[in-house]
Every structure is written in structure tokens, then in C-alpha cells.
């Protein structure tokens, strides 16, 4: 299919304007929906990652498998009716490490990094995920997410979104104690902000319509887990300030399409910080000057409390942008498929607390933020991919039903 044909197809699709009205303001748009970013990698792709780690295949051969899975992700997402599509992060070692390493085992690690960094998270089922450790300056990304956007634009007929990692996650690459010889913490943070800005900007330049920043470390920052020292350092405000150093470099127009995703983690069908009271995060998170937020909620026990907190804390005017709250109505860690009716009811409840023009629907998290993920509760990653598509259909249909009921 030629590019011109694809562009023609893309035209009549609704681009969701911030605030939910068309530019003229005459017509209300339905409640927008957006996925976080990732989908389970097919078992075959996960095997290819292992073979690459084992030196049995080349990086080019791994990339060929990634490309196949990415194409399948985009085609299947387009069939669901998803407004913005992604490759499901099939080409990424993880949502957090794609700039730094080809695989989670550390094959293809960038310069100035070693494999043995801090635990980014210890999950409830006991498994953990580790970050690399910075050994010297300067800190530079090896891979920018725009590389994926460029490839996805070649395939997609719908608008493309891309998730990127936050500066606050990158902050954890620097040792918690002391300074690296010849590379001060201050210089490092300044380099992090530069690289994150570049990452977002290049995604837009490559044609992404939406870019969301993954901020899973936000909730974890109040966990006080003695096994994981950084979670006891009261770092949330530093995280927020660092994210704003990046966001402040973008115009109001750009920030309308820059989001922030919060969740208590999602890996191997397990979480890392769900016991941290949400108030401790939501009181602060909306200080980030982003235009929209993708907020885990469906797996919370008291969802209405979360809607209320989001209604109270999200801002009409965050340095010129209205903050839209995309509430999680789908739980990617459970193989049970939500019904559209359930999604509708959740959104109608949410609309009691959040103005409908600032309400959207999302999933609690990416469906598989890490490239090696067996999805144990699902039985297999291949099955989990099918389930993910069914869940996305339920989200989209439920948002449509809620829009009707609420007259949005």
C-alpha cells in the first residue's frame, strides 16, 4: 500500500483535541481513549531476545523479529479502533531501558554504564528489575524513541503515539551516595534533562501525535522498602521538579499532547507499589505541567476515591494547559476481560468527580512494559496478546457508551 493511500485513510479519523471540543468549540467530542504503550511480546520474539543474549543470532536478526511483531501490533490495534497506535514496544528492552541497552540482560549496553545498578523495583511476587549503573560521564542516550516512531509511521494508517521514559527514572542511574569522579550529580541531571527533552522532541518531529512519559517510580517513591534504599529517600518532589525541567522546555501547544503515566507497576502480572496510599502521590503528581495523565485505577479497591482525588488535584490551568485525566478502566494484569458496560459505568462514576471535558479512558498500565514477560496469570504471552486486544475493544466501546450516556 502506498503512502498517499495511507494518508488519505488517516484523514477522517478523529484527532482528539484537548478539552474535548473541536477548535471552533461547536461540537463535543466523545470521551477520548489512549493506550499506555506496551503489548506482550510474542513468545517467538522473547526467544529471539534470548538467542541474541546467547550470541546465537545477530542484532539485525533480532530486529527482524521485532519488526514483524511491531507490524502485527499496529495492524491489530488498528482493527480495534484505537485512536493512537503503537508498536507495543516490541523493539524495546523495556519502557525504562530502551535508551540504554538492547536487552534486559545487558547485551548492547551503552557507554559509561555497568549492569549492576539499583533495583528499580522489587515486585510483590518477589522478582525484581534492575537498572544499569552509571560509571562516568557524559550521560547520553544510545537509542531515542523516535527511531521506533519513524518505523511505525511507515506501517500505521492511524495516528501514532510513543511512550518515553522519565528523567526521574534516569536519575536513578546515578549512585545514591556520593559523586562520580569528574562527573557531578548536577552535571548528570542537566544531561538527563537534555536527553529527555530530545527524546520527546524527536518523537514529535518523527510524526508522533502524542508522547507520554512513563512515571511508575512516582508511587514507588513513598514505599520505604528497606530492600530498595532509594524508595526511602523521599524523592517524589525531586522527581516532579526534574520532570518539570523537561516540560518547561515545551510550548503550551506541545504540552497538550505530552502525557504522564502513573501506576503501581505491571510485570509478570505483578505490581510493586499498590500498597502506597494513592493520596501521597496524587496530591503532588498533578504539579507536573503535562496536558494529560494516564492513571491506573481499575485495580484499586476504592476507585471512586481515586476519581475524587483526580478531580480535586488535576488542574484547569497547568501553565497554560488543561489537564485531562485518562482513568484506568482496564487491568492488564488480569486475564479476565472487562465488559464495555463495566467500563461505561466506571466512566459515568468518574464524571461525577472529574469534568467530562477533562475525562478520558486508558488501561492501568502497559500490557507488558518489559520485553521478557511470561504473563503467568494469562498462561502465555501469545494468549495475553489476544486478551489485550479484547480488553482494548472493551475500553473503546465502553468509552463510546459513556459518551452517549453523559452527552459528551
Q: Which of 163, 165, 347, 365 binds Zn ion (CB under 5 A)?
A: 365
User: Contacts with Zn ion in 210-249 (CB under 5 A)?
Assistant: 216
Minimum distance between the CB of residue 38 and Zn ion, rounded to whole angstroms?
A: 9
Q: Which is nearer to Zn ion, 87 or 194 (CB)?
A: 87
Whole-angstrom Cα distance, residue 397 to residue 91? 29
Residues across the chain: 408
Q: Which is nearer to Zn ion, 139 or 367 (CB)?
A: 367
Q: Under rule CB under 5 A, how many of the chain's residues touch Zn ion?
A: 3
Minimum distance between the CB of residue 368 and Zn ion, rounded to whole angstroms?
A: 10
Whole-angstrom Cα distance, residue 81 to residue 268? 27
Between 322 and 361, how does the x/- string for binding to Zn ion read (CB under 5 A)? ----------------------------------------
Which of these segments, 208-216, 225-233, 345-353, 391-399, binds Zn ion (CB under 5 A)?
208-216
Residue 7 CB: number of other CB atoms within 10 A? 10
Minimum distance between the CB of residue 365 and Zn ion, rounded to whole angstroms?
A: 3
Reference 166, options 369, 381, 395, 373; nearest CA is 369
Q: Which is nearer to Zn ion, 112 or 166 (CB)?
A: 166
Q: Which is nearer to Zn ion, 165 or 354 (CB)?
A: 165
Minimum distance between the CB of residue 379 and Zn ion, rounded to whole angstroms?
A: 22
Minimum distance between the CB of residue 363 and Zn ion, rounded to whole angstroms?
A: 9
Minimum distance between the CB of residue 179 and Zn ion, rounded to whole angstroms?
A: 31
Q: Which is nearer to Zn ion, 69 or 163 (CB)?
A: 163
User: Contacts with Zn ion in 246-265 (CB under 5 A)?
Assistant: 263
Sign of the alpha-carbon torsion through 77, 197, 14, 25: positive
The C-alpha angle with vertex 389 and arms to 273 and 354, in degrees rounded to 5, equals 55
Reference 145, options 73, 93, 75, 77; nearest CA is 93
Q: Which is nearer to Zn ion, 361 or 365 (CB)?
A: 365
Q: Which is nearer to Zn ion, 216 or 403 (CB)?
A: 216
User: Contacts with Zn ion in 35-94 (CB under 5 A)?
Assistant: none
Q: Which is nearer to Zn ion, 183 or 286 (CB)?
A: 286
Q: Is 396 a binder of Zn ion (CB under 5 A)?
A: no
Minimum distance between the CB of residue 87 and Zn ion, rounded to whole angstroms?
A: 17
Minimum distance between the CB of residue 214 and Zn ion, rounded to whole angstroms?
A: 6
Residues pairing with 293 in the sheet:
260, 325
CA 105 to each of CA 24, 174, 197, 347: distance values in angstroms, whole numbers, following the listed order? 51, 19, 27, 40
Which of these segments, 24-32, 138-146, 199-207, 364-372, binds Zn ion (CB under 5 A)?
364-372
Q: Which is nearer to Zn ion, 152 or 262 (CB)?
A: 262
Minimum distance between the CB of residue 369 and Zn ion, rounded to whole angstroms?
A: 6
Minimum distance between the CB of residue 263 and Zn ion, rounded to whole angstroms?
A: 3
Contact 188, 134 (CB under 8 A): yes
Whole-angstrom Cα distance, residue 198 to residue 183? 21
Q: Which is nearer to Zn ion, 163 or 240 (CB)?
A: 163
Q: Which is nearer to Zn ion, 155 or 263 (CB)?
A: 263
Reference 156, options 67, 88, 206, 85; nearest CA is 85
Minimum distance between the CB of residue 373 and Zn ion, rounded to whole angstroms?
A: 13
**Which residues in this chain contact Zn ion in the complex, by CB under 5 A?**
216, 263, 365
Amino acid at each position: 500500500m502506498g503512502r498517499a493511500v495511507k494518508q488519505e485513510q488517516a484523514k477522517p479519523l478523529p484527532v482528539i483535541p484537548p478539552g474535548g471540543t473541536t477548535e471552533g468549540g461547536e461540537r463535543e467530542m466523545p470521551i477520548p481513549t489512549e493506550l499506555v504503550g506496551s503489548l506482550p511480546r510474542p513468545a517467538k520474539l522473547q526467544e529471539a531476545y534470548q538467542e541474541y543474549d546467547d550470541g546465537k543470532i545477530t542484532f539485525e536478526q533480532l530486529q527482524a523479529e521485532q519488526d514483524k511483531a511491531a507490524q502485527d501490533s499496529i495492524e491489530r490495534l488498528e482493527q480495534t479502533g484505537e485512536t493512537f497506535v503503537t508498536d507495543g514496544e516490541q523493539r524495546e528492552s523495556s519502557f525504562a531501558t530502551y535508551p540504554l541497552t538492547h536487552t534486559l540482560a545487558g547485551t548492547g549496553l551503552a557507554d559509561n554504564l555497568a549492569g549492576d545498578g539499583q533495583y528499580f523495583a522489587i515486585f510483590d511476587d518477589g522478582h525484581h528489575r534492575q537498572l544499569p549503573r552509571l560509571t562516568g560521564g557524559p550521560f547520553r542516550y544510545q537509542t531515542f524513541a523516535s527511531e521506533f516512531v519513524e518505523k511505525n509511521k511507515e506501517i500505521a494508517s492511524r495516528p501514532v503515539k510513543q511512550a518515553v521514559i522519565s528523567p526521574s527514572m534516569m536519575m536513578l542511574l546515578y549512585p545514591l551516595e556520593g559523586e562520580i569522579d569528574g562527573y557531578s550529580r548536577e552535571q548528570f541531571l542537566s544531561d538527563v534533562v537534555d536527553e529527555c527533552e530530545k527524546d520527546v522532541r524527536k518523537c514529535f518531529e518523527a510524526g508522533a501525535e502524542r508522547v507520554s512519559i512513563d512515571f511508575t517510580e512516582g508511587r514507588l517513591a513513598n514505599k520505604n522498602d528497606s530492600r530498595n534504599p532509594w524508595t526511602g529517600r523521599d524523592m517524589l518532589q525531586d522527581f516532579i521538579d526534574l520532570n518539570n525541567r523537561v516540560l518547561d522546555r515545551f510550548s503550551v501547544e506541545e504540552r497538550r499532547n505530552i502525557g504522564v503515566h502513573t501506576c503501581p507497576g505491571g510485570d509478570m502480572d505483578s505490581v510493586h507499589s499498590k500498597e502506597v496510599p494513592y493520596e501521597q502521590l496524587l496530591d503532588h503528581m498533578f504539579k507536573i505541567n503535562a496536558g494529560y495523565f494516564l492513571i491506573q485505577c481499575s485495580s484499586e479497591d476504592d476507585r471512586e476515591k481515586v476519581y475524587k482525588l483526580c478531580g480535586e488535584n488535576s488542574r484547569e490551568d497547568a501553565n497554560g494547559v488543561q489537564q485531562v485525566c485518562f482513568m484506568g478502566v482496564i487491568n492488564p494484569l488480569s486475564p479476565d476481560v472487562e465488559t464495555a458496560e463495566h467500563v461505561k459505568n466506571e466512566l459515568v462514576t468518574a464524571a461525577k468527580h472529574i469534568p467530562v471535558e477533562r475525562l478520558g479512558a486508558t488501561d492501568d498500565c502497559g500490557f507488558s512494559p518489559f520485553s521478557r514477560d511470561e504473563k503467568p496469570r494469562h498462561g502465555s504471552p501469545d494468549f495475553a496478546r489476544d486478551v489485550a486486544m479484547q480488553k482494548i475493544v472493551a475500553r473503546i466501546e465502553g468509552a463510546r457508551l459513556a459518551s452517549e450516556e453523559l452527552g459528551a
